[in-house]
Amino acid sequence: MAKVDIQQIKQRFGIIGNSLGLNRAIDVALQVAPTDMSVLITGESGVGKETFPQIIHQNSPRKHGQYIAVNCGAIPEGTIDSELFGHEKGSFTGALADRKGYFEGSDGGTIFLDEVGELPIPTQARLLRVLETGEFIKVGSSKVQKTNVRIVAATNVNLMQAVADGKFREDLYYRLNTVPIQVPPLRERSEDILLLFRKFAGDCAEKYRMPAIHLDEEARQLLTSYRWPGNVRELKNITERISVIEENRDVTADILRQYLPDLTRDKLPVLVKQESDQKIFNSEREILYQVLFDMKKDVTELKKLVHDIMGGNIQPPNDSAYAHHPIHPAAVHPVEAPIQEAEDVVEESLSLEDVEKEMIRKALERHNGRRKNAAADLKISERTLYRKIKEYNLE
């Protein structure tokens, strides 16, 4: 489809940006819209996945039909079948009347299943039947009903991993993923960050009738270097927060830093992170490996010395402590097995993971469980400490 059509779509749906990944996602949505093929939209939370089902619906033959958006993660497991497929009166406690589900209500239109990875396994089986045959059965009924509905799903989780973990049906995944659309995260759209900031700043200024905020050069560089884990939603929230709170309309890097959480640690570009806590952590690992290697070497040499003494190749020096306490052959003979066992125990108990776990445990004890102080003591970030606490079950 021509580029002009993509620009028209952006204007109509309020999409800001010109990155290749974003344009590609819009182009695929427009190409698949005239068909009835199911679509799976993937991307991190906050990237704007909810816009693409509307693009598909409004550019399809179903645009005059019903469009229903369902957040699968927000509906309790006990009622989701009733919400999606409807129920018969008396089918469960509180079912005082017949109820149409979303699939019956959106017949001839489009249903958008957001957070589809949160669906319970039994509901996934019902959804698979709709995709394969267009049939469904209301809760508490035995009557098979038909529906002609276009399904567009979205998720921010790795469904292939969920399939591997037994949390999502493999056949349903391939049914939904007939046409995949990947919405890129904001950190892969660095050229769009300033455009989005100006748009959000302008909208906020118009809404609250105040001058729009502006960034100086250093602040602009800081804004584009931040990794934006919350993506477009996080950028919008921070822009609005600065617009309302700051009296100075010219925002400097120092002002901006106050609104970017954990700026000096995990949220900066990967290069900075590697130069900070990752470098320190690798250095600690190298030291621990060296300590373990030296200890193993010492144990090996001690074992060799005992073997030599047992074989009569070496006699203990007369001026040593052994001269006053000679080793009786009967006492020497059973040493080999215990030494071998001791070596194994030392190697096992002094593994890198055990040493690391012990260091973290002692740091937490020293600071009475205060993780921020413990992380500073260990010279690692709080985020790394939280991950290690969870990994080693030190909660």
Domain spans in the chain, listed from the N-terminal domain onward: 3-184, 188-257, 270-391
How far apart CA 207 and CA 322 sit, in angstroms, is 90
Out of 3.30.300.10, 1.10.8.60, 1.10.3720.10, 3.30.70.20, which CATH number does the structure's domain 188-257 have?
1.10.8.60
Q: What is the CA radius of gyration of the chain?
A: 32
Indicate the pTM of the whole model.
0.65
Predicted confidence pLDDT, tens digits, the chain (395 residues): 444 489 999 999 999 999 999 999 999 999 999 999 999 999 999 999 999 999 999 999 999 999 999 999 999 988 999 999 999 988 888 888 988 999 999 999 999 999 999 999 999 999 999 999 999 999 999 999 999 999 999 999 999 999 999 999 999 999 999 999 999 999 999 999 999 999 999 999 999 999 999 999 999 999 999 999 999 999 999 999 999 999 999 999 999 999 998 654 444 444 444 444 444 455 555 556 556 656 766 777 777 777 767 666 555 555 444 444 444 444 444 444 444 444 444 444 456 677 778 888 888 888 888 888 888 888 788 778 888 887 888 87
Task: Identify the pLDDT of residue 288.
Answer: 61
User: Which fold would CATH assign to domain 3-184?
Assistant: Rossmann fold (3.40.50)
Q: What is the 3-state secondary structure (H, E, C) of the chain?
A: CCHHHHHHHHHHHCCCCCCHHHHHHHHHHHHHCCCCCCEEEECCCCCCCCHHHHHHHHCCCCCCCCEEEEEHHHCCCCCHHHHHHCECCCCCCCCCCCECCHHHHCCCCEEEEECHHHCCHHHHHHHHHHHHHCEEECECCCCEEECCCEEEEEECCCHHHHHHCCCCCHHHHHHHCCEEEECCCHHHCHHHHHHHHHHHHHHHHHHHCCCCCEECHHHHHHHHHCCCCCHHHHHHHHHHHHHHHCCCCEECHHHHHCCCCCCCCCCCCHHHHHHHHHHHHHHHHHHHHHHHHHHHHHHHHHHHHHHHHHCCCCCCCCCCHHHHCCCCHHHHHHHHHHHHHHHHHHHHHCCHHHHHHHHHHHHHHHCCCCHHHHHHHHCCCHHHHHHHHHHCCCC
With beta carbons less than 8 A apart as the criterion, state whether 154 and 40 touch.
yes
Reported as a single tens digit per residue, the pLDDT across 188-245 is 999 999 999 999 999 999 999 999 999 999 999 999 999 999 999 999 999 999 999 9
Task: Identify the pLDDT of residue 366.
Answer: 86
Beta strand 150-155 with 39-42: parallel, antiparallel or unpaired? parallel
Task: Identify the pLDDT of residue 95.
Answer: 81
